A and B are shown apart, each in its own frame.
Chain A
Amino acid sequence: METLFDLLSIEKEKKAARLLLSDTQKTFAVEGWVPRTCSEDMKKRIEEEFICHIEIREPGEDEQPPVLLSNPALVQPFEAVTQMYSLPSRSDIDPNPLIAPFFFLFFGIMMADAVYGTLMCIATAIAIKKWAPEGLSGKIVRLIFLGGISTIIWGVVFGSWFGDLPKVLSGGQFIIRPLWFNPMENAVLMLVFSLGLGVIHILTGLFARAAILIRNKDYAGAVFDVFSWVLLLIGLLMLIPGGVTGQVGQYMAIAGTGTILLFAGRKHKNPVKRILSGLAGLYSISGYLSDILSYARLLALGLATGVISSIINTMGAMFAKSVPGVLFFIFLLAFGTVFNIALNALGAFVHTSRLQYIEFFGKFYEGGGRAFVPFGGKTRYIRMNNN
């Protein structure tokens, strides 16, 4: 039954492709897209088998070629994030290599538990081994596996093993010290750390925008619209430590502000209009402020994971004073852990994605590309070997 389904799907696809051809009784013409890396190979193989004429050309100026992403194996799972938003258009760069490190980092910070991370890695490794998922779902499973590794790392950094289970079980005798600090005890440091990561993320987005503008030879845009903001943002940050750094930062911020004020409205000839539109440009500082504050969710979601696990632990420890109590505790721990991981992995996934889509992509990425869908071999139940 399954084989039949696949066989018929292939036939259906062939029939659908026929409709796209322009043919006479004896001849037909095919036009289509082929990835550049395999175009010569394809030409050779078809010419060996059939009598035909094959012409290969680069896409024209006004054409929108379909997109096939090509990234190293470690970055590939993160393509799922871009795929769920929108594929890059011709004027974009492939954002995946930029997304990968930040997604990895942010997902782990929001989960941050060494034991939870291990469980996530084991579960996803079994899923990959057993079902060998492909396509988008395959990428997402691998993404959660990598997220699990990051969760372990941050769990060790923040000293979270099943939340505070070692401490609760030993009655405060045995505490696994965090490698850096415990966000539950030092929430302010965690908040500063979260916002700091946000600034780095946003600056990376701005640099990506500058790179695109420079590639398109829009040097004025890169200097006046991007580097002026970089100067202003870094200058404002340098005000915080004060001293000589603060002095330098002050001048950088003033230089950045001046550039934006004078040049943001450079397309207007009228000087009054130009300054007014410069002022309007400067108003986007509020946007940057809210973007940076948005990274506070790194702290909030990390706390949610930690506090829920400590609720489970505290509740369990109240019962764990007799044999049935201990059994109940184990049951509670197992049930609570699955619940907590499922809920917070979903939360970490959607919130990390949001940080990429709104705060990061907003700086440089447009999207709107369509996917390259190769002809042939779309089966549901059977996998075909290459060749």
Chain B
Amino acid sequence: MDVIKDVLFDGNAYALLGSALAALLAGTGSAKGVGIAGEAAAGVVSEDPSKFGKTLILQALPGTQGIYGLLVAFIIWNKIGLLAGNMQPMEVQKGILLLAAALPIAVVGLLSAIAQGKAAAAGMGILARRPEEFSKAVIYAVMVETYAVLALLASFLMVVWL
């Protein structure tokens, strides 16, 4: 009973939960997005292997959300002293605030990476039929990423200011 009490009434548990969600959900989204784009990329390369480099660029685009999630997780660990190895007991309220701060990049990262993966997969069609218009396919995918960038900013600023 005491163990549960120790964990539940220590803010660190909530802060860690937040950082875990940021890395976990955004990472899942990126894995899925990169996977979706990769499936389409394999189709393009089976027709024309010389396009491998360009498919790789397009495939890498939905990968950034996972990094943004890790980035937010990292600054939360930095904030609670996990990195320096001197984690102090923390008020529950503050921990929950840090958990809230992690939510934008966690949720937006998950969904935007999948959406971006679909846009990148559709862009593979441009690469297959009109390779000279490749950069337009990249821009379509980058349009989606804007919202992940905004969510990253929201999460980052909240963690820094808390």
Residue numbers of A with Cβ under 8 A of B are 84-85, 187-188, 191, 293-294, 296-297, 299-301, 303-304, 307-308, 310-311, 314, 343, 346-347, 350-351, 353-354, 357-358
Contact B152–A307 (Cβ < 8 Å): no
Extra pairs beyond A296-B153, A299-B153 (11, CB < 8 Å): A293-B150, A297-B146, A300-B152, A300-B153, A304-B67, A307-B71, A343-B63, A343-B64, A350-B139, A351-B145, A353-B138
Contact A187–B74 (Cβ < 8 Å): no
The 6 nearest A-B residue pairs measured at CB = A84-B135, A307-B71, A300-B149, A297-B149, A354-B142, A300-B152
From known contacts A300-B153, A307-B71, A311-B70, infer whether A346 and B60 are also in contact, taking CB-CB under 8 Å.
yes
Distance between Cα atoms of A353 and B142 in the complex (Å): 10
Shortest Cβ distance from B41 into chain A, in angstroms? 15
Contact partner of B60 among A293, A297, A343, A351, CB < 8 A? A343
Distance between Cα atoms of A153 and B146 in the complex (Å): 26
B119 interface residue, CB < 8 Å from A? no
Query: Please, which residues of chain A bring their CB within 8 A of the CB of B122?
Result: none
B59-72 vs A, Cβ < 8 Å mask (1 yes, 0 no): 01101100110110
B139-162 vs A, Cβ < 8 Å mask (1 yes, 0 no): 100110110011011001100100
Contact partner of B139 among A188, A307, A354, CB < 8 A? A354
B63-87 vs A, Cβ < 8 Å mask (1 yes, 0 no): 1100110110011000000010000
Contact B139–A304 (Cβ < 8 Å): no
From known contacts A314-B83, A346-B60, infer whether A307 and B75 are also in contact, taking CB-CB under 8 Å.
yes
Query: Please, which residues of chain A bring their CB within 8 A of the CB of B139?
Result: 350, 353-354, 357-358
Query: Please, which residues of chain A bring their CB within 8 A of the CB of B152?
Result: 300, 303
Contact B146–A308 (Cβ < 8 Å): no
From known contacts A350-B61, A350-B142, A357-B139, infer whether A308 and B149 are also in contact, taking CB-CB under 8 Å.
no
B3 interface residue, CB < 8 Å from A? no
Contact B60–A303 (Cβ < 8 Å): no
B4 interface residue, CB < 8 Å from A? no
Residue numbers of B with Cβ under 8 A of A are 57, 60-61, 63-64, 67-68, 70-71, 74-75, 83, 134-136, 138-139, 142-143, 145-146, 149-150, 152-153, 156-157, 160
Contact B64–A347 (Cβ < 8 Å): yes
Shortest Cβ distance from A184 into chain B, in angstroms? 9
Contact A346–B57 (Cβ < 8 Å): yes
Contact B160–A307 (Cβ < 8 Å): no
Distance between Cα atoms of A347 and B143 in the complex (Å): 13
Shortest Cβ distance from B94 into chain A, in angstroms? 19
Contact B142–A351 (Cβ < 8 Å): yes
Selected A-B contacts with CB under 8 Å, 24 pairs: A84-B135, A85-B135, A85-B136, A293-B150, A294-B146, A296-B149, A300-B149, A300-B152, A300-B156, A301-B149, A303-B156, A304-B64, A307-B74, A308-B67, A343-B60, A343-B67, A346-B57, A346-B60, A350-B61, A350-B142, A351-B142, A353-B138, A354-B142, A358-B143
Tell me the nearest residue of chain B to A357, going by C-beta. Answer: B139
Distance between Cα atoms of A85 and B63 in the complex (Å): 24
Tell me the nearest residue of chain B to A85, going by C-beta. Answer: B135
Tell me the nearest residue of chain B to A311, going by C-beta. Answer: B74
Shortest Cβ distance from B48 into chain A, in angstroms? 16
Contact B68–A187 (Cβ < 8 Å): no
From known contacts A187-B156, A187-B160, A343-B60, infer whether A308 and B150 are also in contact, taking CB-CB under 8 Å.
no
